[in-house]
Structure 1
Amino acid sequence: MMIFSKKILITGASGWFGKSFILSYVARFSEKALSNLILVTSDGRDISIPGIDVALKTISLKCINNIDGVDVVIQAAFLTRDKISEYGDQNYKAINLNIIDTVSNYVRINRVTSVFLISSGAVNDSGNKKDLYSELKKSEEDAFLKVCNPLIFRVYGATGKLTPKVSWSALSEFICKGKCDEDISLKSKGRVLRSYVSFDVLSELIMECISRGGIETKIIDACSFSIDIFTLATNVAKIFDIKVEKNKDYDETCIVDSYIGSNKEFISFCEEHNIYLPTLEELVSIASKSPFL
């Protein structure tokens, strides 16, 4: 059975990964295949995606129990860490726990065997970095592992064709600086390390996994490369012909912050599924053309 004949339910359809998957799906199978995607958002609103000519209908999360015959579930719905201050701890926790319970119960009741979970590298956080977000993402993983055999991708940082303008992304900040013809000024006094994955690549990988069928439970750090922020800024600066200014006290021998995963298994998994991994330069170039930046 080919992938476009499978019914795929994707939560968080209006989010960064959700839109990236939909765009990649249409690029591979055409807009005619959209009828096989069940798009879920918090309130069932219509969404639009650059590169897709039609408005996309979604269903509300609270209504998913009305949907049957689903072959695949992609769980990508979750409030990001930056929303904690907006919602407050109690509401933030309640909303995310409701998402976890609703989707995991749907998977259990409908006995969906092909489940993909877009998780976070924050699950591995420890010590002072441990916060409500990382604890809830760990709860999410545990909930799905109890009801199915999911393929879990832990994302650290992301790039892609639809990279959004967000305050917590160094990449989008650098690109916005470049588009405004402003030099990039780094405040850090030492090296800041980050891991990245292209949501376009991750979408292609999931589609290939669905096409082949028979996924096995894995927890994989979804990152194709790790880089220090100065090098990332330098790559962006080359595209826009701007400068990068380090902090006057910058010490390249000192790592002041690190949020990285192991990319060995992800790269091997992509190679196994014949997924092309763009170079760093290609990824930065693709992100720099995002319609949201």
Structure 2
Amino acid sequence: MTDERDMYQTSHLRIVPRRHWGRWIAAGVVCLLLAALVRAFINGKIEWNYVGQFLFSQSILEGLVNTILMTFAAMAVGITLGVIFAIMRISENPVLSTIATGYVWIFRGAPALLQLLLWFNLALVFPKIGIPGLFEWRTVDVMTPFVAAMLALGIQQGAYTSEVVRGGLLSVDAGQYEAARSIGMGQLLMLRRIILPQAMRVILPPIGNELIGMVKTTSLASVIQYSEILHNAQIIYYANTRVLELLLVASFWYLSAVTVLSIGQMYVERYFARGIQRLKAAG
């Protein structure tokens, strides 16, 4: 009877969802700030016709191509070195492990801009490179802005990537290593066929983020006269003094490149996650 009486007394009440006033106020403040920012750009001293004029100019598009080329070249060097030094780092050979640790320590510790300048000025230390008596080249001819930037950014990236790969290798269950050894697999075959495919799920997201970060890091190469987006934009605004307009053009293309790579990263991660999703569905 008591339960029926309670139900009768509360049946006329209406359920009202909780009001999240704080969320609405915060959202309103953010919208107002964004509107003020957009208004400042619209009403600012920006000649938008210059933005449209140079958005698809040949110099800017050439810089975009060079930026993408440098991104993938440096990442190819970085991933190759990262895998090699990650394997050396987990090796039972103390010499290889120490060398890998020293590599990570040195190249993660030195700023990317410093490494760019060191490689570009390598001729001050080694005027010639090659094998004496067989073939030699002048270092200043070999160490072009492209080569210097690729080596500096790629080698530094390798130090970061090696830690990502090492973390991925260590995330694989120890039983997988033991099972591979029990059927007579060698170290390299085991890594290629058993360990790395399982570690990719852990390795890919940070590698994808580093690839996206590399697009923006290539802008540092402008200090050694590598013809990427920012460098070409600077050359133009040095001539016409439209600094902000050309920086907006460069920002647009950096954002576009990052957006495309982010979409690609999403599909690649989804591909390697299919096996895990099937396991969860089966469980």
TM over 0.5: same fold?
no
- Looking at secondary structure, tell me which structure has more helix per residue: 2
- Larger Cα Rg: Structure 1 or Structure 2? 2
When normalised by structure 2's length, the TM-score is: 0.26
- Looking at secondary structure, tell me which structure has more strand per residue: 1
When normalised by structure 1's length, the TM-score is: 0.25
